[in-house]
């Protein structure tokens, strides 16, 4: 029988030593730690400065003195009379002061008439077209000789453009420039018609009484917006949302790195198994994340049926999935190819190089930005606009570009994985071809 006064001794785990040192402590260990920290921070500061002056200018250059080049426009005279000739002359005057390079085409090029010109603009042969409509001069002459209360000068000229192709170009470059020229044509024609009527003895009072618009606005214009940008929420998925997708893609890549390390899979899995795990993780994760992202967009009122009907949402979802894969697999390849400290530089370059070619037409940017035709963001913006606004169909091209990126990464990721295995293996492991995965410089796996 044990003594009732005996006590039960419970051992306690040794407590962790509490931090007690000052940053400016004078011991040798403190000086070494302080020196190491400051050297690394100085290196990080200069590396960040390098990003500011080498990568950021890629974006600033895309908006600096824009447009650096003009957009392409068509001029077509179906009238053949004084009205058509005046419009053509006014639109091509002082070309150096314009934001559009006008190409004058004979009406015979378009056997389908003005509507065919509009169809060519819709198919993105040109950004805009100005058409002098058939018989514009004859109608004006008839309205002067025989005052017509129904005369409408705005039917003399038609402007074809596609706002949803890129709303910033439509609103900031195409319409303001064209509108200013055509307003000038209208004012000049008003003076000329009045002078001509007076000099030819036409009863101006009768025209003023019956059809004053014939003298006030003999030559006007009508803007035909072939695909209006009528969903303002689209900005969220054609620009800002693409940056969000990039961030989500990076989250999954970095999160899967931590999960593999925490689970010990980095050391356990064979090279083939590790490669398959990387692919399976990204393909599955992005499949469901892109669905949630697409549902969120639909929840905020985006309509997907204008071009493809009920299939529009599924196509939108698959585009988002493909885009996340293209971006995420590229980041996965970067993580395997580079030492961890260099990874942020390449990721920043990937983001900035994509963003720089989305806000403005590539045609108006310096020629260095022509690389944008092959970038995921640019093609995603084009494909999404087809779904949301029924613009010229770019969906097939978008899928082609995105899957080219995906296939390239599906080739490079295994190659970089094998190279990392060999680089990080010990001499004995290299001889025995081990079943351990690489462990990048610090945690670069």
Domain ranges, ordered by start, for the chain: 71-225, 232-422
Name the region of 264 (left: φ>0; alpha: ψ -120 to 50; beta: rest).
Answer: left
Give Cα separations from 295 to 239, 285, 315, 383 (angstroms): 17, 16, 13, 18
Q: How does residue 131 score in pLDDT terms, banded at 50, 70 and 90?
A: very high
Residue 1 token pair: 């029988």
Going 413 to 419 to 425 to 430, the CA torsion angle's sign is positive
For domain 71-225, the CATH class is alpha beta
Total residue length of the chain: 445
pLDDT value for 266: 76
Contacts 24+ apart (CB under 8 A), 307-311: 307/386, 307/387, 307/388, 307/389, 307/390, 307/393, 308/387
Residue 21 token pair: 């040192």
Each residue of 37-56: pLDDT tens digit? 888 889 888 888 888 888 88
Give the span between the Cα atoms of 87 and 156, in whole angstroms. Answer: 10
pLDDT at 322 over 80: yes
pLDDT at 237 over 80: yes
Bridging pattern class, strands 157-161 and 128-132: antiparallel
Name the percent of the chain lying above pLDDT 90.
63
pLDDT at 20 over 90: no
Each residue of 326-370: pLDDT tens digit? 999 999 999 998 888 788 888 999 999 999 999 999 999 999 999
pLDDT value for 202: 76
Give Cα separations from 259 to 44, 75, 251, 380 (angstroms): 27, 61, 12, 30
Cis peptide before 388 (omega within 30 of 0): no
pLDDT value for 6: 42
pLDDT at 233 over 80: yes
Each residue of 149-201: pLDDT tens digit? 999 999 999 999 999 999 999 999 999 999 999 999 999 998 888 887 777 77
Each residue of 375-413: pLDDT tens digit? 999 999 999 999 999 999 999 999 999 999 999 999 999
Give the span between the Cα atoms of 325 and 290, in whole angstroms. Answer: 10
Q: How does residue 8 score in pLDDT terms, banded at 50, 70 and 90?
A: very low
Mean pLDDT of the chain: 88
Find tokens 């908006």 and name the residue: 63
């Amino acid at each position: 029988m044990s003594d009732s006064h005996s006590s039960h001794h419970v051992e306690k785990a040794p407590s962790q030593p509490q931090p007690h040192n000052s940053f400016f402590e004078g011991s040798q260990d403190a000086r070494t730690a302080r020196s190491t920290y400051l050297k690394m921070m100085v290196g990080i500061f200069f590396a960040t400065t390098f990003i500011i002056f080498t990568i950021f200018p890629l974006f600033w250059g895309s908006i600096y003195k824009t447009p650096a080049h003009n957009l392409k426009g068509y001029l077509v005279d179906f009238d053949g009379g004084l009205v058509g000739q005046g419009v053509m002359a006014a639109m091509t005057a002082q070309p150096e002061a314009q934001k559009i390079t006008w190409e004058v085409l004979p009406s015979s090029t378009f056997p389908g008439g003005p509507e065919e010109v509009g169809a060519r603009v819709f198919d993105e042969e040109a950004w805009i077209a100005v058409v002098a409509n058939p018989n514009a001069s004859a109608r004006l002459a008839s309205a002067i000789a025989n005052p017509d209360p129904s005369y409408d000068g705005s039917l003399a000229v038609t402007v074809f453009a596609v706002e949803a192709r890129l709303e910033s170009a439509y609103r900031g470059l195409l319409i303001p420039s064209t509108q200013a020229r055509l307003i000038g044509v209208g004012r000049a024609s008003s003076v000329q018609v009045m002078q001509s009527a007076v000099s030819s003895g036409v009863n101006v009072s009768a025209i003023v009484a019956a059809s004053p618009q014939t003298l006030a606005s003999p030559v006007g214009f009508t803007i035909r917006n072939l695909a209006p940008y009528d969903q303002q929420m689209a900005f969220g998925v054609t620009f800002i949302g693409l940056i969000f997708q990039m961030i989500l893609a990076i989250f999954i890549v970095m999160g899967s790195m931590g999960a593999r390390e925490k689970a010990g899979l980095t050391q356990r899995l064979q090279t083939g198994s590790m490669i398959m795990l990387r692919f399976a993780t990204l393909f599955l994760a992005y499949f469901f994340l892109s669905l949630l992202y697409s549902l969120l967009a639909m929840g905020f009122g985006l309509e997907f049926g204008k071009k493809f009907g009920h299939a529009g949402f599924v196509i939108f979802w698959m585009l988002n999935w493909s885009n996340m894969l293209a971006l995420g697999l590229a980041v996965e390849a970067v993580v395997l190819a580079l030492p961890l400290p260099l990874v942020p530089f390449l990721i920043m370059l990937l983001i900035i190089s994509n963003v720089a070619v989305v806000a403005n037409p590539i045609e108006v940017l310096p020629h260095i930005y022509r690389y944008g035709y092959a970038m995921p963001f640019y093609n995603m913006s084009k494909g999404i606009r087809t779904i949301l606004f029924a613009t010229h169909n770019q969906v097939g091209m978008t899928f082609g570009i995105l899957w080219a990126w995906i296939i390239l990464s599906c080739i490079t990721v295994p190659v970089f994985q094998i190279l990392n295995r060999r680089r990080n293996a010990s001499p004995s492991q290299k001889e025995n071809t081990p079943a351990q995965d690489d462990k990048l410089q610090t945690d670069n796996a």
